[in-house]
Amino acid sequence: MPSITLSIRLGPMVQFRVEGRSCAEIAEALEGFEQLNKTVDAMFSDLAQRVFPEDAPKREGQEE
């Protein structure tokens, strides 16, 4: 049976790969992707702010 490989790059340091035998398997594997994207965004935004504090925009709830 053929397989499907989906490779997604979220940034220069984050990439993940999903493999399945059908579109239904791939769709099931991607459930919750929005939450993963939010988590990765928060992690790298925090990192960027720590490395470049003068350039990074403040996020809601962060102290000046």
pLDDT of residue 64 exceeding 60, the answer is no
pLDDT of residue 5 exceeding 80, the answer is yes
Residue pLDDT, tens place only, 15-57: 888 899 998 888 888 888 888 778 878 887 887 788 888 875 6
Please report the pLDDT score of residue 42 as a whole number: 83
How is the chain split among helix, strand and coil, in percent rounded to 5?
A: 40, 20, 40
Domain ranges in the chain are: 4-51
pLDDT of residue 11 exceeding 90, the answer is no
User: Collapsing DSSP states into helix, strand and coil, what is residue 19?
Assistant: strand
Please report the pLDDT score of residue 56 as a whole number: 55
